[in-house]
Amino acid sequence: MRTIFVNRYFHPDQSATSRMVSALAFGLVRQGGAVTVLASRTLHDGNDSILAGRETCSGVEVVRLSTSRFGRGTLPGRAADYLSFHLAAFGWLSRNIRRGDVVVVCTDPPLISLACALPIRLRGGRMINWIMDLFPETAVELGFLGKAPFLGRLAAWLRDRSIARSRLTVCPTERMAEYLTARGVPAACVRVLHHWSDAAEIRPVPKDENPLRAAWGYVGKFVVGYSGNFGRAHEFATLIEAATLLKDHPDIRFLMVGGGYKLQSVKSAVRERGLANVAFKPLQPARNLAESLGVPDLHVVSLLPCLEHCIIPSKFYGILAAGKPTLFIGDPKGSVAAVVAAEQCGVTIEIGDAETLARTISDLAAAPERVAAMGVAARAVLEADYAYDRALATWSTLLAELAERGRAPAGAVMLEQRPS
């Protein structure tokens, strides 16, 4: 059996979907599987580097399709990049799928399952929809299709048809799975397999052993950090207002690491308010990820409540692996908030409640034992419920069942994890 992953980004790219697909593909090869990845020739954070069209990476056959390279700066350019990947993937799959191949179709670019479904079906392959971000719902909730609601409804209908014709749909949260089944997707064809983090790659790094904490000038400080994509799905105004309220607290600092659409607006807000307690750093190389995540005492995760059924912030799992508490800004009944509350590995603040957020940060800065205990709980829940080895074993079982029987048995492969 050959497993084919279709996702626009793959190693060495360090975007969230790339890291998930890369880790799973490499793990399956180590177990003796044959894996091919269909990706683009660009990196998520830039189009300057053009990757090789074909290569073998740690045993994984990587086919990189030639597509347009307008980048993420404008919506028309991004749409052109999406469409060109759709067309290139359709062409490659139409020529290269072998009967019995299992094709795991991800959600970058959006709605790629629409382009993949027909060639997979005609050539005797078996399709799994691995939904990491739900489209077109995300675009609708963010207002991109406000002037053309018909397009959103049509795209959702087409997406549902592609799901109905696939052998299995994998979702990262129960809320997303419930949303799809409410739309008529058969519950027996939907599985919840949570995201993960590699406990060996990202590990707790003691403060006094962390070279970045010293190099960045945070010795003796309580650091509130945000690490990852500054995307449209995240909310930063509450955090910036809390930083404003705490600007005269010399021992509390805010660290923003990463890039993305909202980064410049966040930097502008910090600059306009004259916040000397907020610093920015670029996204760190993968080899420094444990140290980078180890700098903050408290990590911020945010998500707009309207997107709870569409997205799960994957940075949450890296925070757990780093043994750090999570400060979730969003829906108190959301997926991340549920884990934080159940496992006592952080706190949740509603969007807009900057005063409570500032007070909570101040209280935690004065209670290092409590912060340490939440960090220990975070690492424990990662190892118990969201560890990479466990996820790899579950995916391996799923793929083997699909290859042998043509369909995974109902309910047999759902991860037995605590609610998220």
Residue 409 has pLDDT above 60, yes or no: no
Query: Do residue 334 and residue 264 come from a single domain?
Result: yes
Determine phi and psi for 170, rounding to 5 degrees: -110, 130
- State the chain's mean pLDDT as an integer: 92
Query: Do residue 349 and residue 311 come from a single domain?
Result: yes
21-78: per-residue pLDDT in tens?
999 999 999 999 999 999 999 988 766 778 999 999 999 999 999 999 888 778 788 8
Q: In terms of pLDDT, which residue wins out, 367 or 143?
A: 367
Binning pLDDT at 50, 70 and 90, where does residue 418 land?
Answer: very low
Distance (Å, whole) CA 296 – CA 250:
16
Does 416 fall in a domain?
Answer: no
Does 340 fall in a domain?
Answer: yes
Binning pLDDT at 50, 70 and 90, where does residue 408 land?
Answer: low
Does 74 fall in a domain?
Answer: yes
Query: Do residue 358 and residue 314 come from a single domain?
Result: yes
Query: Do residue 17 and residue 125 come from a single domain?
Result: yes
In this prediction, residue 165 carries a pLDDT of: 79
Does 202 fall in a domain?
Answer: no
Residue 413 has pLDDT above 50, yes or no: no
Provide the residue range defining the domain that includes 233: 207-385
Does 159 fall in a domain?
Answer: yes
Query: Do residue 295 and residue 394 come from a single domain?
Result: no
Does 415 fall in a domain?
Answer: no
Does 149 fall in a domain?
Answer: yes
pTM of the shown model:
0.91
Contacts within 8 Å (CB) and 24+ apart, 92-97: 92/38, 92/63, 92/65, 93/4, 93/6, 93/38, 93/119, 93/120, 93/123, 93/125, 94/119, 94/122, 94/123, 97/4, 97/123, 97/124, 97/125
Query: Do residue 214 and residue 144 come from a single domain?
Result: no
Say how many domains are in the chain: 2
Query: Do residue 252 and residue 400 come from a single domain?
Result: no
Determine phi and psi for 4, rounding to 5 degrees: -115, 125
Does 412 fall in a domain?
Answer: no
Query: Do residue 98 and residue 6 come from a single domain?
Result: yes
Query: Do residue 379 and residue 266 come from a single domain?
Result: yes
Query: Do residue 173 and residue 295 come from a single domain?
Result: no
374-399: per-residue pLDDT in tens?
999 999 999 999 999 999 999 999 99
Query: Do residue 301 and residue 400 come from a single domain?
Result: no
Query: Do residue 225 and residue 163 come from a single domain?
Result: no
Q: Read off the CATH number of the domain in which 340 is found.
A: 3.40.50.2000
